[in-house]
C-alpha cells in the first residue's frame, strides 16, 4: 500500500490520457475533482489486487459519453456518490474499494475522488489497460463478469438502475440513456468480488500512468526529449511527426466519431497520416497503408512537450508526434479480438500486432 497525493494525481492524469488513446474523457475535470477531494480528505490509499479479499466487493466508477460533450457538460459532483451508493444498496453490503474501469483521462481520476471522499482505497488495476468506447470492451467481459446491475446518474438529479441479459445489451440501453441525459452520465458498473478482480483486470494501470506522467515531467525539467523518454518507458514506436491539416469530427449516438489528417514534417516530409477515431483512436493509415490498429494504442502527443492531445482537442495547425504502444496481451486472443479488433469497428482488415506492422511499413 502507498499513498497518492496531489502530485501523484497530476502525473496520473497525464499518463492515463496517453494510455487513453485520445479518449477516456477530459482529464482536467477529473483531475480537479480528485485533487479537491485529496486536499479536503487526505491522500488516497493505493492497494494491489492481491490485497483485496476474495469475497470482498469492489465497485468501479466512470463517466460515459462522447468526449466532445464532457468538455462543456460539467458534472455536479455528487452524482458519482449517488451511483456508487446505489450499487452498494443493490448488493446489500459496502464496497471495500473502488477502481478504474479504463485507463483514460477522466476515468482514471474519478475513482480517486470517490476513494478520497469515502475513505476507501483504490485498486492499482483497471478493466482495459487503455480506453475503449463501448461497455463490453473490458477484460472483465472476457471472463464472464456482468456489467449490470449498473447505476447511472446525471447532473440534473436523474437516476437509472439497469439490469440486462448481457453486456452487449448493457451497451445499447445505457448508450441510449446517456444520450437522453445530454450525452454524458456518471456510471457505476462491473461490480466484482476480489476473486474476480484478481483474474479479470489489467494490473498496475495507475502506477504505469503515474510513472508516465512523472517521466514526462522529469524529462522537461532535465531538458531531455520527452517523447523519446516516453517511448523507452512504454516500449512504443514513433509512427509519424507532422502538422494537423484537417479534422472532421461529429457527435453521433453518444460517440465522437471522425478523422484527423496530418502532413509530415522533418523526416516525414512528403508523407501523410490519417487517424480515424470513435472516442478513441482506432486506425492509423500512412500514405494509404495501415500502420497501427486497435487494440494497440495510438496516441497523439504535442511535439515539444510530449503531452497528449485527446480526440476532442485535435485542432488545425498543431504540430504533433504520433506514437503506437503494444496493447496488453489479454487483448490479443481470438476471443478478445472479436470484441475490440478492427473488424468489430467495421474495418475489413485483420489485426496485426504493431511491432509487426512497424517492421512491414516503416522498416
Are both 28 and 117 inside the same structural domain?
Answer: yes
Predicted confidence (pLDDT) per residue in 185-224, tens digit: 999 999 999 999 999 999 999 999 999 999 999 999 999 9
216 belongs to a structural domain: no
Whole-prediction pTM value? 0.94
Are both 168 and 96 inside the same structural domain?
Answer: yes
312 belongs to a structural domain: yes
Are both 260 and 151 inside the same structural domain?
Answer: no
Spatial separation of the C-alpha atoms in residues 84 and 61, rounded to whole Å: 7
Spatial separation of the C-alpha atoms in residues 214 and 201, rounded to whole Å: 24
296 belongs to a structural domain: yes
Are both 232 and 174 inside the same structural domain?
Answer: no
All three cell numbers of 266, joined, read: 522533418
Q: Is the CB of residue 234 less than 8 Å from the CB of residue 296?
A: no
122 belongs to a structural domain: yes
Which helix (H) or strand (E) element contains residue 100? strand 97-100
Domain count, the chain: 2
Task: Give the model's confidence band at 252: pLDDT under 50 very low, under 70 low, under 90 confident, else very high.
Answer: confident
305 belongs to a structural domain: yes
All three cell numbers of 140, joined, read: 472483465
Helix axes 27-41, 105-118, angle to 10 degrees: 20
Are both 138 and 180 inside the same structural domain?
Answer: yes
210 belongs to a structural domain: no
Are both 174 and 116 inside the same structural domain?
Answer: yes
Are both 23 and 143 inside the same structural domain?
Answer: yes
User: Does residue 30 register a pLDDT over 70?
Assistant: yes
Q: Is the CB of residue 8 less than 8 Å from the CB of residue 2?
A: no
The whole domain housing 166 covers: 2-205
* Domain-ending residue, one of 178, 205, 232: 205
Domain with residue 167: its CATH number is: 3.40.1610.10
287 belongs to a structural domain: yes
Partners of 240 in beta bridges: 322
Predicted confidence (pLDDT) per residue in 270-303, tens digit: 999 999 998 899 999 999 999 999 999 999 999 9
Residues 6+ away with beta carbon under 8 Å from 274: 259, 260, 261, 262, 284, 285
Spatial separation of the C-alpha atoms in residues 13 and 31, rounded to whole Å: 6
Q: Is the CB of residue 179 less than 8 Å from the CB of residue 253?
A: yes
Domain with residue 282: its CATH number is: 2.40.390.10
Are both 235 and 198 inside the same structural domain?
Answer: no
Q: What are phi and psi of 63, to 5 degrees?
A: -105, 145
Spatial separation of the C-alpha atoms in residues 335 and 128, rounded to whole Å: 15
Amino acid at each position: 500500500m502507498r499513498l497518492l497525493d496531489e502530485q501523484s494525481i497530476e502525473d496520473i492524469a497525464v499518463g492515463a490520457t496517453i494510455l487513453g488513446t485520445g479518449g477516456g474523457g477530459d482529464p482536467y475535470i477529473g483531475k480537479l475533482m480528485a485533487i479537491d477531494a485529496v486536499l479536503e480528505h487526505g491522500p488516497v490509499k493505493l492497494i494491489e489486487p492481491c490485497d483485496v479479499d476474495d469475497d470482498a466487493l469492489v465497485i468501479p466508477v466512470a463517466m460515459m459519453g462522447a468526449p466532445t460533450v464532457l468538455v462543456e457538460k460539467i458534472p455536479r459532483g455528487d452524482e458519482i456518490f449517488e451511483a456508487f451508493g446505489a450499487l452498494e444498496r443493490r448488493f446489500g453490503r459496502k464496497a471495500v474499494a473502488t477502481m478504474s474501469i479504463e485507463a483514460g483521462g477522466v476515468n482514471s481520476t474519478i475513482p480517486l475522488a470517490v476513494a478520497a471522499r469515502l475513505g476507501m482505497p483504490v485498486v492499482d488495476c483497471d478493466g482495459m489497460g487503455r480506453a475503449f468506447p463501448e461497455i463490453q470492451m473490458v477484460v472483465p467481459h472476457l471472463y464472464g463478469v456482468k456489467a449490470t446491475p449498473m447505476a447511472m446518474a446525471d447532473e440534473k438529479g436523474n437516476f437509472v438502475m439497469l439490469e440486462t441479459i448481457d453486456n452487449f445489451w448493457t451497451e445499447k440501453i445505457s448508450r441510449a440513456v446517456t444520450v437522453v441525459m445530454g450525452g454524458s452520465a456518471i456510471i457505476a458498473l462491473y461490480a466484482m468480488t476480489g476473486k474476480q478482480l484478481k483474474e479479470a483486470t489489467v494490473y498496475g494501470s495507475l502506477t504505469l500512468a503515474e510513472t508516465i506522467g512523472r517521466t514526462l515531467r522529469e524529462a522537461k525539467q532535465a531538458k531531455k526529449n520527452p517523447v523519446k523518454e516516453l517511448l523507452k518507458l512504454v516500449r512504443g514506436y514513433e509512427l509519424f511527426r507532422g502538422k494537423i491539416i484537417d479534422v472532421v469530427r461529429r457527435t453521433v449516438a453518444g460517440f465522437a466519431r471522425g478523422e484527423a489528417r496530418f502532413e509530415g514534417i522533418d523526416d516525414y516530409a512528403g508523407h501523410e497520416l490519417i487517424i480515424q477515431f470513435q472516442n478513441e483512436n482506432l486506425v492509423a493509415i500512412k500514405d494509404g497503408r495501415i500502420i497501427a490498429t486497435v487494440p494497440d494504442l495510438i496516441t497523439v502527443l504535442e511535439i515539444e512537450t510530449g503531452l497528449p492531445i485527446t480526440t476532442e482537442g485535435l485542432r488545425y495547425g498543431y504540430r504533433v508526434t504520433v506514437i503506437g504502444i503494444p496493447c496488453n496481451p489479454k487483448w490479443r486472443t481470438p476471443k478478445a479480438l472479436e470484441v475490440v479488433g478492427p473488424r468489430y469497428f467495421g474495418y475489413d482488415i485483420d489485426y496485426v500486432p504493431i511491432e509487426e506492422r512497424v517492421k512491414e511499413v516503416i522498416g
